[in-house]
């Protein structure tokens, strides 16, 4: 049996910390993107008997781990709460998983000046008695646990800070601090998962719009069925909501065939038109009066250079998609709805998107500047993007286009150099311009992999939003669990 201990000082009262831990969404926010994925959130909060199921690891993760860790990608882990003392702590045990045993005790105590000490004690046994036969195995596993709990500490502090900031910001705008009720379309995607978890962990209510062919109705707690393909959404299920966040749409990555281009455009138009039509029906009978609609940096075209929200659209396919997409959303303004158009940059997360796709190449030592590396990359951390959506819902003065990109864009060659340095790999092997075309086709490569835009987040800065990650290196270190230099 090996014991691991970790202590974290959180600058919020114990009542706020324990309440946050007990809310829906917290376990998603606490789960490192390089380490695991939440399949089932706690079935009964922190109560005894509550169960959580995780999927451990991702396919590239072994290249990041410092040695042999006895957890392979794809392993399921079921934890059950076996002890709970409200306001003081709880214990979970592994009921199914890769280790011989695991017992994790969380304890919360008061610290000075109304702050909190979060103490974690883990007693575990590696499979096959590895910690007894090879002390190195337990040492390596403890190092991995250090990474995990450092991430959890950062998330707890940052999320509590943001929830407090959001309440203060709303109050300063005269909109009060009552809890929000928000519907999210696309809540199971990379961005939607974190937006939903962030809001729920802050105490707000989130309704997920789930696709069901030809049907719209309640299908479970916090879930409404809809069918954007057939433009079916019962407006009555939107009554009582404050806002709708629309993240729905077919993934853009892939060969830009006629079929793919049509799916990219139509999926966005149909989902947006369906939501706007339903909101229109109940606008005067308690329906939501805020629509936060996704858009993309592609609005500005693939050769945009430095742009603010006042710059016009580009002339290529993705610019046309974004222009039509935004126009469909803005029709909600006709009946007095506040509409925000979130023009998203390249989202940084080791669990999906651009970064995750590149990691195997970089871990193999073959990462480097793409197509010369001079193109701008308008990046944003997944953490900031989730906060931007919550901020846009909460601030009644935010409307129109919003550039969701960090204030310090980088050239692709700087991105490559920074990522390789964090992974302790070389970045000298250039990737020829022709390479992306093998996967995306000529048009896809030009408008995605080789596009260039330096988005200035002028609207966010004007409304007082403060980025959690304004610089590329801390953002990459956070999502990769490489905080130690």
Residue 169 in any domain: the answer is no
Residue 485 in any domain: the answer is no
DSSP annotation string for 325-344: HHHHHHGGGGGT-EEEEEEE
Q: What is the model's pTM?
A: 0.94
Please say whether the beta carbons of 398 and 340 come within 8 A.
yes
| Alpha carbon 326 to chain centroid, angstroms | 22
State the residue range of the domain holding 475. 179-480
337, 382: one domain:
yes
Backbone torsions φ then ψ of 270, nearest 5 degrees:
-65, -45
Residues 197, 252: Cα–Cα separation, whole Å? 24
139, 199: one domain:
no
Of the three residues 134, 162, 190, the one that is the final residue of a domain is 162
Helices (H) and strands (E) in the chain, counts: 13, 21
Residue 173 in any domain: the answer is no
For residue 310, the tally of other CB atoms under 10 A from its CB is 10
217, 354: one domain:
yes
461, 376: one domain:
yes
350, 236: one domain:
yes
146, 200: one domain:
no
92, 193: one domain:
no
17, 153: one domain:
yes
Judged by DSSP in three states, 353 sits in helix
DSSP annotation string for 450-473: T-EEEE--HHHHHTT---S--SHH
241, 348: one domain:
yes
Residue with tokens 């596993």: 141
91, 183: one domain:
no
Residue 104 in any domain: the answer is yes
Q: How many domains does the chain have?
A: 2
DSSP E strand stretches across 212-275: 218-220, 223-226, 243-246
341, 391: one domain:
yes
Judged by DSSP in three states, 184 sits in strand
CATH number where 294 lies: 3.40.50.720
Residue 170 in any domain: the answer is no
Nearest to 290 by CA among 325, 336, 326: 336
pLDDT of the chain along its 485 residues, tens only? 899 999 999 999 999 999 999 999 999 999 999 989 999 999 999 999 999 999 987 645 544 444 445 556 678 999 999 999 999 999 999 999 989 999 999 999 999 999 999 999 999 998 876 555 555 577 888 998 999 999 999 999 999 999 999 999 999 988 888 999 999 999 999 999 999 999 999 999 999 999 999 899 999 889 999 999 999 999 999 999 999 999 999 988 778 889 999 999 999 999 999 999 999 999 999 999 999 999 999 999 988 889 999 999 999 999 999 999 999 999 999 999 999 999 999 999 998 887 888 888 888 888 888 878 899 999 999 999 999 999 999 999 999 999 999 999 999 999 999 999 999 988 877 766 655 555 556 666 565 666 789 999 999 999 999 999 999 999 999 999 998 75
User: What is the DSSP code (8-state) at residue 279?
Assistant: H
- Between helix 135-172 and helix 190-201 the angle, nearest 10°, is 70
59, 196: one domain:
no
Please say whether the beta carbons of 307 and 455 come within 8 A.
yes
């Amino acid at each position: 049996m090996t014991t691991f201990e970790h202590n974290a000082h959180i600058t919020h009262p114990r009542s706020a910390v324990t309440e946050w831990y007990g809310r829906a969404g917290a376990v998603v926010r606490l789960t490192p993107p390089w380490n695991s994925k939440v399949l089932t959130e706690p079935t009964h909060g922190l109560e005894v008997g509550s169960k959580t199921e995780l999927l451990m690891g991702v396919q590239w993760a072994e290249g990041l781990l410092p040695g042999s860790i006895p957890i392979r990608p794809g392993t399921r882990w079921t934890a059950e709460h076996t002890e709970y003392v409200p306001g003081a702590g709880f214990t979970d045990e592994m009921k199914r998983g890769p280790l011989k045993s695991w017992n994790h005790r969380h304890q919360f105590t008061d610290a000075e000046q109304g702050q909190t000490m979060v103490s974690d004690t883990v007693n575990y046994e590696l499979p096959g008695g590895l910690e007894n036969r090879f002390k190195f195995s337990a040492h390596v596993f403890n190092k991995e646990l250090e990474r995990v709990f450092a991430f959890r500490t950062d998330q707890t502090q940052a999320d509590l800070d943001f929830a407090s900031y959001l309440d203060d910001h709303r109050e300063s705008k005269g909109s009060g601090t009552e809890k929000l009720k928000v519907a999210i379309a696309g809540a199971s995607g990379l961005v939607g998962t974190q937006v939903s978890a962030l809001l729920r962990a802050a105490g707000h209510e989130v309704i997920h719009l789930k696709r069901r062919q030809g049907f719209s109705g309640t299908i479970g707690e916090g879930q409404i069925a809809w069918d954007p393909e057939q433009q079916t959404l019962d407006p009555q299920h939107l009554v009582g909501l404050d806002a709708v966040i629309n993240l729905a749409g077919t993934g853009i990555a892939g060969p830009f065939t006629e079929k793919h281009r049509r799916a990219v455009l139509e999926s966005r138009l149909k989902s947006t038109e369906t939501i706007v039509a339903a909101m229109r029906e109940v606008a005067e009978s308690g329906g939501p009066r805020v629509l936060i609609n996704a858009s993309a940096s592609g609005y500005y075209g693939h050769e945009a250079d430095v742009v603010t929200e006042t710059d016009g659209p580009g002339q290529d396919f993705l610019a046309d998609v974004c222009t039509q997409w935004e126009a469909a959303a803005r029709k909600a303004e006709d009946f007095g709805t506040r509409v925000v158009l979130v023009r998203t940059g390249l989202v940084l997360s080791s669990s999906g998107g651009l970064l995750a796709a590149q990691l195997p190449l970089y871990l193999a030592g073959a990462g480097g500047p793409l197509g010369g590396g001079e193109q701008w990359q308008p990046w944003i951390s997944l953490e900031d993007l989730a906060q931007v959506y919550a901020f846009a819902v909460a601030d009644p003065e935010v409307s129109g286009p919003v550039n969701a990109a960090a204030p310090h864009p980088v050239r692709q060659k700087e991105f490559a150099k920074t990522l390789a340095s964090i992974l302790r790999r070389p970045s000298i092997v250039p990737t020829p311009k022709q390479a992306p075309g093998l996967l995306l086709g000529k048009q896809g490569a030009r408008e995605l992999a080789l596009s260039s835009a330096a988005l200035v987040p002028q609207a966010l800065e004007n409304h007082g939003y403060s980025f959690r990650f304004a610089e590329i290196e801390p953002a990459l270190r956070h999502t990769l669990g490489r905080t130690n230099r």
